[in-house]
Structure 1
Amino acid sequence: MQTRKLIFPLLFLAASLLTSCGGSEDTSASNESMEASTSSEGTSSDDPAATMEKAMSDAMKQLGGDGETKEVVDFRELKALLPERIAGMDRTSHTGEKVGAMGFKMSTAQAEYGDGEQSLDVSVIDFAGVSMILASAAAWSSVEIDKETDSGYERTTMIDGYKAFEEYDSKRKEGQVSIIAEDRYIITVEGRNIEEGALREALDAVSIDKLKGLE
């Protein structure tokens, strides 16, 4: 599902930021710390774990914009937004988890729905307002897309006041619709062997308005 695909960009971005935070800007401070430690005790007491923690803390402050690191929502609250039935299909699985890497976290809830050959995957992901990770996971949010082919389309748009992305292939009867809500959540519906209208119908069934009160 979409959520699994996003874990790897999260890990990659965290590692990249850690590398950049440990670059030239922090080198002099690190060297000074090591020199002070060596002169006072004769040996270096530089702690790699502490250095990593500080680097990630600084990165989070820069990415958060307001200098605050927000906690992600409990995935159990996100799971409650996914109903037992969507677009005429019964829910066949219902899972959630919180994952993290080097100080970055995301909370996710997923549900699968099916009826014969038809299936829908629905996910709600909370990145706690870390805009750079959000942009990495939903690259379409920073570009304009409007493409049509003989069998379908891809486009960025607005749905209920939120940035959104839609794609559908009528030959394969596959598609996706995603939105970014409250500047911290990505809601994604992916469908196979379904009619175009089922994607929007499934999105409408998710209790998106309730995200406003979650913290």
Structure 2
Amino acid sequence: MKNRFILSLSLVSVLFLSACGGKKEAEEEKEKEAPANAVEALQQFANKAKTMHNKEAVDPVDFRKLKELLPEKAEGLNRTEATGEKNGAMGFTISQAEARYSGDGDASAHVEIFDTGGVAGISTMALAAWSMADIDKETATGYEKTTKREGYKGYEKYDNQNKSGELNVLVADRFVVNVNGNNLSVDQLKSILGAIDLDKLSGLK
């Protein structure tokens, strides 16, 4: 996770620097419009990065509160492990809770909940860069797309051939929930995500 965080952060830093020029009014208006091309899409990404960077810093919640939201059972799977920690890297502090689940037929799932807290804007971008993009892609065996889950921005990726996929959601611009599964249908993955009370997560302090 730390390597993914650092690599994503490097990309975000480049995009953020590209957003420093221009008038604020023009940027806000442009964010409301659908991008006409890849250049505009990149600029909108950078504008969003700048906005999130300016968000007020808050302390991450105790990871034990995040662990309480991880269900003991989900879609017929039993929780086999639940852990949590608060750690920092490059000046960023994050609370994290995760659980692993297993069931019949080698079915398994891994659920993570992050509170990006401290410097919410940049650390959120590092963990959920998809939240600032519009994705809709199909492959020979599956798809990936950005979507909405209970009113929150989400990301969905699934491979029909391998019966594996992931669901991600960004809550209150600071909490990131990731659900990864193997030998599970996409509906089962959605059911696992649905077992997490996202509204309660949103209200944690």
Q: With the length of structure 2 as denominator, give the TM-score of the two structures.
A: 0.74
Is residue 2:202 matched to residue 1:207?
no
Counterparts of 1:45-194 in structure 2, within 5 Å, are 65-66=54-55, 68-116=56-104, 117-128=106-117, 130-194=120-184
Alignment match, 1:30: none
Question: Between the two proteins, what is the percent identity of the paired residues?
Answer: 40
1:201 positional shift: 0.2
CA distance in 2, matches of 1:142, 1:154: 15
1:104 positional shift: 1.2
1:8 positional shift: 2.6
Q: Would you say the 8 A contact 1:146–1:156 is kept in 2? A: yes
Distance 1:142 1:206, change over 3 A: same
Q: Would you say the 8 A contact 1:162–1:180 is kept in 2? A: yes
Larger Rg: 1
Distance 1:193 1:9, change over 3 A: closer
1:148 positional shift: 1.2
Alignment match, 1:8: 3
Distance 1:11 1:204, change over 3 A: same
CA distance in 1, matches of 2:202, 2:132: 23
Aligned-partner SS, 1:130: helix
Q: Would you say the 8 A contact 1:82–1:207 is kept in 2? A: no
Q: Which runs of 5+ in 1 are unaligned?
A: 18-61
1:73 positional shift: 0.6
Q: Would you say the 8 A contact 1:172–1:193 is kept in 2? A: yes
Alignment match, 1:198: 188
What are the Cα deviations for residues 96-133 of structure 1, in whole angstroms up to 9, with x where unaligned? 00011243100000000101300000110000162122
Q: Would you say the 8 A contact 1:189–1:203 is kept in 2? A: yes
Q: With the length of structure 1 as denominator, give the TM-score of the two structures.
A: 0.70
Q: Would you say the 8 A contact 2:175–2:202 is kept in 1? A: no
Aligned-partner SS, 1:200: helix
2:81 maps to amino acid:
S
What are the Cα deviations for residues 153-185 of structure 1, in whole angstroms up to 9, with x where unaligned? 100111111110001111100000000001100
CA distance in 2, matches of 1:146, 1:63: 23
CA distance in 2, matches of 1:63, 1:196: 30
Distance 1:63 1:143, change over 3 A: closer
Q: Which runs of 5+ in 2 are unaligned?
A: 14-50
